[in-house]
Structure 1
């Protein structure tokens, strides 16, 4: 499993990226902020993954939901979005809402208050779950399409923002191999990194990710402590 970056300094250094002509800010937490829409987007929180593993006898520290929601609450305070979009697989399984505790429910209610909050259906959590907000299959937002799983290459790619694949990139710097979560984009579409504390990752060189982009490749924005690091696809493995 991948460690998330440490708590962000205030303010962090945010990279700007155009997605099909829409300005977006890439936060080193793995969240995306769409400037014009004032929309904060996170993908693949996998809340209650720890409790799901515990039910199968594999004990993990039961703090992933609290850590993930604390990170989201901090982003809501900082960006003051009009809209928050959880881009699918927000719960680790369809029974996660039954296991989520009262403190987590209170945290969700607190940062849902005064703004729109949308849960996009994922393959882990396809059904409405009664945690506030509104549940949708996908969202059209001013020419952008926000969905959980990416469409096949060449099908409705322009303006697509998705999750599902948990992209990570490996690079070698000063003789050391580093593996970090990352945003992946070619300027037309973007795949977000997983936001969940216990989420794993898939290398950007894997066909499931690489085939989404054309022959010119993509840019990976690796998550760091307080900033993201931009790398061409040829520098990632």
Structure 2
């Protein structure tokens, strides 16, 4: 990481194993779960849950284990229990498709309702779930918005082209590939230059796009930091080490 990027981000190890950084001057924690904690606003942000992706694939004849929603919601519940946030923001594509809400198992739906009931719960519209959130909330708790401002941060689903100070987005499912132990290791990651931030996908069945892909790399005028998710820690990676 170059000196200018280090000064802008002011990265440090947080007790949870995540990285404490500054995004547009706002103190945040990049957590090992892939969620973002905005400290002063007591806000937990997660992107791209893609609930019911497994059942969507099954309907198309591609059989995947039907446990992705339960696994994703369990991870989210752990984050909420650890942080007790005042606000939870889901950064779009929370549901994999238009009919996903209706396909949820009763236990998964009950868990989601329970998590949302005790705090300010905000759904950002994504390209996968815009219709579902706009037309068929099916009694879901929370507020649906297109974008949200949080201090200097502007929360959106899909990153916008050009210089976007304070933008916090999902959609691209960034992943970092590094060489380790004689082989390539690929992990979901955050990507940031201290001005804007792209979150990894939080969902259990979500894939990843290499951060060196132009769809991600072109969003940053200078090489950003990739922060890869480990089992218990987030690992800062210099751009030049990525493959």
Q: For 1:162-215, what per-residue CA distance to the aligned partner results, in whole angstroms no more than 9, with x for missing partners? A: 00000001000232210000000000000000000000010000000000001x
Gaps of 5+ in 2: 1-14
1:185 paired residue among 183, 186, 192: 192
Matched ranges for 1:46-195 at <5 A: 46-127=50-131, 128=133, 129-130=136-137, 131-154=140-163, 157-195=164-202
The structure 1 segments of at least 4 consecutive aligned residues displaced by more than 4 Å after TM superposition are none
Q: What is the CA–CA distance in structure 1 between the aligned matches of 2:206 and 2:162, rounded to whole Å?
A: 25
State the 1:123 CA deviation. 0.3
Structure 2 length-normalised TM:
0.90
- Per mean C-alpha deviation after superposition, the further-off stretch among 184-193 and 136-145 is 136-145
State the 1:14 CA deviation. 1.9
Gaps of 5+ in 1: 1-10
Hey, what does 1:44 align to over in structure 2?
Answer: 48
**Two-structure CA RMSD over aligned residues (Å):** 1.0
Structure 1 length-normalised TM:
0.92
2:19 paired residue among 15, 19, 23: 15
How many residues matched?
224
Q: Which has the higher helix share?
A: 2
State the 1:81 CA deviation. 0.4
Hey, what does 2:215 align to over in structure 1?
Answer: 208
Q: What is the CA–CA distance in structure 1 between the aligned matches of 2:216 and 2:162, rounded to whole Å?
A: 10
